[in-house]
Structure 1
Amino acid sequence: MSSHAQAAEAYLTASVENAPPIKIVRMLYQGALRFLLQAEAEDPRDPHSSFIEHCSSADAIVAELRLSLREDVGGEDIVQQLKGLYLFCEAEIGRSMLDRTAEPLPGVRTVLAKLLEAWQHVEVSNHRAAA
């Protein structure tokens, strides 16, 4: 690995380790959306494509978001609603991988994009309240 690549990796690691939790959540959503777009750009029927890998990466992020839910922070109703949305996304991504089709992925992207938008509003509100 070149010194430039090592410096970039160190910077990325430091920026994630020092990021506020809400920023990490935003980054996770952005990563999942990016992986879904990459999956949609692949031919799901081609055994040499990266379709399954991209779907698996998006699915792992959504699962992590679901597993990190805390009722003591968000309240039981909100947590249950988010959990349901995450489970829907995981099921649709799983169906995509099983059937080797990108058809369910735009629906998953829509849900995650709306959730990302909501988290961005929370982040802005928190920033304004702290100022």
Structure 2
Amino acid sequence: MAKQYQAYQNNSVTTATPGELTLMLYNGCLKFIKQARKAIEENNHQVRNEYIQKSQNIIRELMVTLNPEATISQEMLPLYDFAYQSLTQANVHNDLERLSEAEEIIRQFRDTWKEVIQTERRRQYGQGAKA
């Protein structure tokens, strides 16, 4: 069953549009933040560090893919940086509040991006399309 799931995941990634890949990154980041939250609550420093670093790697990837000439990118970059720094502080200080700050920013980006994808699909394929 694990092999089938892995094959499904690989197929999902290889057939996804750039917009869907970005949505997957946001969802992955939120998943890792949730796992880091659990590790903080359980006072498991090693697991906390692992999942916060995974979240930070995703944020770094989102940052480097921004078009520096686009106005929206110039507005997004400081928010990504703030989320990244909040994760650093959450990791160093075992701080759920800082983790929540990063989580909220990424959740808002994810929700906005999901709406963009849904709007684009409705425009292309009609009202029934969902992300």
Is this a same-fold pair by TM over 0.5? yes
TM-score by length of 1: 0.86
Give the residue type in structure 2 aligned to 1:33. Answer: L
TM-score by length of 2: 0.86
Give the residue type in structure 2 aligned to 1:122. Answer: V
Alpha-carbon distance in 1 for matches of 2:65, 2:36: 25
Query: Share of identical aligned residues, percent?
Result: 25
Q: Is the 1:43–1:49 Cα contact (8 Å) retained in structure 2?
A: no
RMSD: 1.8
Partner in structure 2 of residue 80 of structure 1 = 74
Q: Is the 1:44–1:52 Cα contact (8 Å) retained in structure 2?
A: no
Partner in structure 1 of residue 117 of structure 2 = 123
Q: Is the 1:44–1:101 Cα contact (8 Å) retained in structure 2?
A: no
Higher relative contact order (CA 8 A, sep 6+): 1
Partner in structure 2 of residue 22 of structure 1 = 19
- Ranges of 4+ aligned residues in structure 1 off by more than 4 Å: none
CA distance 1:55–1:10, change in 2 (3 Å): same
Where does structure 2 lack aligned partners over 5 or more consecutive residues?
Answer: 126-131
Partner in structure 2 of residue 57 of structure 1 = 54
Alpha-carbon distance in 2 for matches of 1:22, 1:7: 25
